[in-house]
Amino acid sequence: MVRRWVWGFVLLLWLCDVSHAQKIPFAEVFGGYSYTGADPFSTGNRVGLNGWDATFTITAGKRLGLVADFGGDYGTSQIPVLDPTPFPPCPPFCPTQVTTFPVKTRLYTFLFGAQLPYRKWDKFTPYVEVLFGRARLSGKVPEFAVTDGKFAYTLGAGADYTMTRKLAWRVQADYLHTNFLKSKQDNFRLSTGIVFRLVGKEKKPRTLTTP
């Protein structure tokens, strides 16, 4: 009799774990707004870049996801006139009396790696992640442009707040390391937006019927 109770209790725990596992999506798609604080030309003048961030995550386990992350951020950097490298001296595309000149800046990232979610609560799922890949920089002034693409990586943390079975809201913060123009840059990135969860159909609980 005791063995039956023990086996029944073990079966109950297993069923509870299975039912919880069924709530885990087999994939997630995220899209949203991104803000990056960067110094892409290593001038000491940081710039705020606004853009987008999109990720696709495949669930490889209860606490492991494989991530592909793509982002684009845009803004205007201010380059010192006294040290314009990698741009040419300021005249003729800007007045000589200015101390900095504007550069149209675009930053793209193509990153891949792992996400480690902590699935303990129904509504709240925190996670950390590490991604590696490539970043591409573009800077333009009249009649001159600079481009560079190099290795980059991010260390990040965030959280998803569940709104429905298939929708969640995400907030994430990343440290973004880049290597443009033979220099290293320490940047940060904030992103937020909607997560679309790809989940299987829920199994309806079986009920006993009597004739």
What pLDDT is recorded for position 13? 38
What pLDDT is recorded for position 64? 93
What pLDDT is recorded for position 205? 55
Polymer length in residues for the chain:
211
Between residues 211 and 76, which one has the greater pLDDT?
76
Dihedral of the CA atoms 41, 44, 49, 53 (nearest 10)?
70
**pLDDT exceeds cutoff 50 at 99:** yes
Residue 64: inside a domain, yes or no?
yes
Tell me the C-alpha to C-alpha distance, in Å, between residue 22 and each of 64, 188, 199, 200, 201: 15, 35, 8, 8, 9
Structure pTM?
0.80
Residue 155: inside a domain, yes or no?
yes
Bond from prior residue into 84 cis (ω within 30 degrees of 0): no
Between residues 199 and 55, which one has the greater pLDDT?
55
What pLDDT is recorded for position 62? 86
Query: Minimum mean pLDDT among 21-25, 47-51, 111-115, 188-192: which range?
Result: 21-25
Residue 119: inside a domain, yes or no?
yes
For range 128-151, the mean pLDDT: 94
What pLDDT is recorded for position 21? 42
Per-residue pLDDT of 50-87, as tens digits, reads 999 999 999 998 889 999 999 999 999 999 988 888 88
Residue 13: inside a domain, yes or no?
no
**pLDDT exceeds cutoff 80 at 201:** no
- Cβ atoms of 158 and 124 within 8 Å: the answer is no
What CATH number has the domain bearing residue 190? 2.40.160.20
Residue 113: inside a domain, yes or no?
yes
Residue 174: inside a domain, yes or no?
yes
What pLDDT is recorded for position 56? 97
What pLDDT is recorded for position 88? 85
**pLDDT exceeds cutoff 90 at 19:** no
Residue 58: inside a domain, yes or no?
yes
Residue 142: inside a domain, yes or no?
no
For range 91-109, the mean pLDDT: 85
**pLDDT exceeds cutoff 80 at 94:** no
For range 114-126, the mean pLDDT: 93
- Structural domain count of the chain: 1
Range of the domain at 129: 24-77+106-134+148-198
**pLDDT exceeds cutoff 90 at 142:** no
pLDDT band at 179 (very low <50, low <70, confident <90, very high): very high
What pLDDT is recorded for position 162? 94
